[in-house]
Structure 1
Amino acid sequence: MEEEFCSLSNVLKTEKNKGLWSHVDAADVQDFSEAVVEKVLAFQKTHKSYRATPLRSLDALAGELGVSKIYVKDESYRFGLNAFKVMGGIYAIANCLAEKLGLPIEALSFEKLKTKKVREQIGDLTFISATDGNHGRGIAWIARELGLKSVIRMPKGSSQRRLESIQAEGADVAISDVNYDDTVRICEQMARENGYLMIQDTSWPGYEEIPLWIMQGYAAIAKEISDQLPEAPTHIFLQAGVGSYAGGISGYFLHKYPDAPPKIILVEPNQADCYFKSFEQKDGAMQSVGGDMATIMAGLACGEPNRAAYAFLSKYSYGALSCSDDVTALGMRIYGNPLRGDDQVISGESGAVTMGALYLLCAEAGFAADKNKLAIDDTSRILLISTEGDTDKQSYHDIVWKGRYPNLIGKSRDELNV
């Protein structure tokens, strides 16, 4: 047998979580109840640009892969910013300002926050955040709309095009010479030294409230999905990163379906797979990943989990997938070149990894055991969220048009001319 150039285990690895469940304790996810998330979404809807993003049903692909349904939430339409992140930032910032004003969030709207009277009460305020691009652009956009300032720092290796997008929103933005987690620490120090207000979706002791608000902001996406879905999903594939987005989405669905919860499957780049490595541990102890975390999935290049998110994701996630970059490149091409009858989705590097992983699980014989481990069959109704569009258009073209990061499964060295 010819040697495979890229072995299956180097492309995608599956780890089934050891902390499985058949019922969800409402206390674990009470911060994502229907009442809470309705309040969150009610505020987000006060922005004049709010629109629920589309939910696609890829029926032809579902038939091709042998599952009942594949639903995809397309976040490239979110507030004109081409990514989901602003949903967390807008709610967190509103809550911070509500506290300063001594008002409940229900008494505020985005337009009211822009009034001269509120601006005078708030005073001169600067937000700061670490980001690979999408979160920082959202924070900078909100700050500009409110007439406030923002300072954004990006980790080593960040895209110049994403920096320019943030700069266009009026932010003080620069790329650091350290990874994401260390860039967060730099921002935290700058916030303390300069009196900036930090808006970050990861938590540490003493910094838990704002990350929770951001998670609740993300949970509003799940509420939108629930309103759009004709039936409950059996599986939800979620990009992990620090876990705040996955926590917000899964928190809502776990609270909504406590007696028949969907299987939550976390998906990460293999250079930043802190949840996967945590699930590998016999005791499930939280693990961190260091180094440069060099991956094209920049939005997921986070090595330290959000502790609050980890507390219930480690309990209720069904499994985790660790993926090489060519998995998300495959997903980008599948979304961009749909089967006849399915809608096209323009999905970026961090948005498409769940699609690439699902395709491999269902279409490649070498992953049959992994597919069975995750209980995927012809009755499965699978929900994916494309979290970003082509936020770096040149990179998107290089991958989808020019074939950068080809999927190498099953190709011999001779076939690849290696």
Structure 2
Amino acid sequence: MTTPEPISWIANPRAATIRHSPAVARYFPAGIAEKTRAFHTHIPAYHVTPLKSLNRLASMIGIGKLWVKDEADRLSLGSFKVLGGSYAIYQTILKRIGNPEGFTFADLNKPEVRKMVGDITFAAATDGNHGRGVAWAATQLGFKSIIYVHKFTSEARINAIAQNGAQVKVIDGTYDDAVRQVNEDAQKNGWQVVSDTSWEGYEEIPVWVMQGYTTLYSEIQQQLVSMGEFCPTHIFMQAGVGSLAASAFGFYASLFAPARPKMVVVEPDRAACLFHSMEVGDGKPHSFTGDLNTIMAGLACGDPNPIAWDVLYDCADGFVKCPDYVSAKGMRVGGVPLHGDPYIIAGESGAVSLGALMFIMELDRYRPIREALGLDANSRVLLVNSERNTDPDDYRRVVWDGGDQIPKQFRVYKNPFMEG
């Protein structure tokens, strides 16, 4: 059996020709990040998550700066996902009561508002984090929720969803099967689906979900300015259906237009629907077949989000797919940092972009990728740790027990950028 390469890369030269993306203008209009952040700041438990500087690691791998936005403690839920789910629920309720101005999270709990809205059961399919965020937001507002998960979802993730007030239903299939089933059942039962992926006739809520994520980048820009920085030169963003990556790329393309950072999508090689779509090369999203069996549970998606794809096709300068051991490397590096760098407790899906960046910078075979992206000692790279160790047992298997080891031929012991 052939050992998979750490990095498979496909460039998107088209992105360099798009000065103003119609998809970005449509889904991330001016002012949307301010609007979503204004909503989130009224949630009682809201606080800005840290932007961590890994200066020693940046020096070691040969770049100027490395920042990681650490979402491990977002609203005590361990993931960024609640930003999208809560904002989509908020917008859904506002639409039902005529879109009044000035409503906050707290206003949604007022008796007169509840009387106007009536009973709603919010439903979602999830690999763990999105469902937990939807369940939390629904419970905070006094609504019921039902969350569908696939059969490979760990007990830890299922329990975390249930502890946030949801009924959990396990589907015999993949994440994509769960998406299809919850939509079918919602139509029969009158539930309101809150999905982070879209399909024909269902786009508005997934757009709200993506827009909700922009609070994260609004925080980042404020944090960078406080450090005396202006903008990252590069963003590496992990992707499942592509919504998180599209929100990042859409935010920065809207804010900086042609002067935006170079942007790269990172996926598991066993669930690389966006990479595959780029390979097909017809400009359309395409499904990735297979059992999607990767440790990166939050990225185990075979069907791209079509509206996210529109943004990524315009803005992503390249697509990377990686085997599981790349994510495992990122997990271990975050958990055992160089002296002087902060700790980052990252789950499997949160760590893969760090692992991918390190392999690209450390192995000479990837010099063409570095050159294509202009990655060098002047680069200032932004990553997002999108989840903490949401499956503690698997985290220990990887970090404590050395699970998913790097094949010997791809290990780096003497860093090529460090002399002496």
| Smaller-chain TM-score bracket | over 0.9
* Cα displacement (A) at 1:28: 3.3
* Cα displacement (A) at 1:12: 1.9
Please show how residues 6-405 of structure 1 align to structure 2 within 5 Å. Answer: 7=3, 9-22=4-17, 24-25=19-20, 27-30=22-25, 31-104=27-100, 106-229=101-224, 230-405=229-404
- The one-letter amino acid of 1:242's match is V
* Cα displacement (A) at 1:224: 1.0
Moved over 6 A (4+): none
Secondary structure, in 3 states, of the residue corresponding to 2:196?
A: coil
* 1:216-244 deviations in Å (ceiling 9; x for gaps): 00112111111111221111001111111
* Cα displacement (A) at 1:375: 2.3
Instruction: Say whether the 8 Å CA contact 1:24–1:255 is kept in structure 2.
Output: no
In structure 1, the gaps of 5 or more residues are 413-418
* Cα displacement (A) at 1:73: 0.1
Instruction: Say whether the 8 Å CA contact 2:18–2:315 is kept in structure 1.
Output: no
Instruction: Say whether the 8 Å CA contact 1:23–1:260 is kept in structure 2.
Output: no
* Cα displacement (A) at 1:409: 4.0
- Counterpart residue number, 2:415: none
Rounded to whole Å, the distance in 2 between the matches of 1:28 and 1:143 is 30
Instruction: Say whether the 8 Å CA contact 1:163–1:174 is kept in structure 2.
Output: no
Secondary structure, in 3 states, of the residue corresponding to 1:24?
A: coil
Rounded to whole Å, the distance in 2 between the matches of 1:252 and 1:239 is 16
- The one-letter amino acid of 2:220's match is I
TM-score by length of 2: 0.93
Secondary structure, in 3 states, of the residue corresponding to 1:76?
A: coil
- The one-letter amino acid of 1:42's match is A
* Cα displacement (A) at 1:169: 1.4
Instruction: Say whether the 8 Å CA contact 2:21–2:314 is kept in structure 1.
Output: no
- The one-letter amino acid of 1:218's match is Y
Question: Closer, same or farther in 2 for the Cα pair 1:195/1:411, shift >3 Å?
Answer: closer
Q: Percent identity?
A: 42
Instruction: Say whether the 8 Å CA contact 2:15–2:313 is kept in structure 1.
Output: no
Rounded to whole Å, the distance in 2 between the matches of 1:133 and 1:52 is 22
Question: Closer, same or farther in 2 for the Cα pair 1:208/1:300, shift >3 Å?
Answer: same
Rounded to whole Å, the distance in 2 between the matches of 1:282 and 1:149 is 42
State the aligned residue count. Answer: 406
* 1:66-123 deviations in Å (ceiling 9; x for gaps): 101101000002000010000000100000000112133x421111111222222221
Q: Which moved more, 1:285-294 or 1:346-355?
A: 285-294
In structure 2, the gaps of 5 or more residues are 412-420
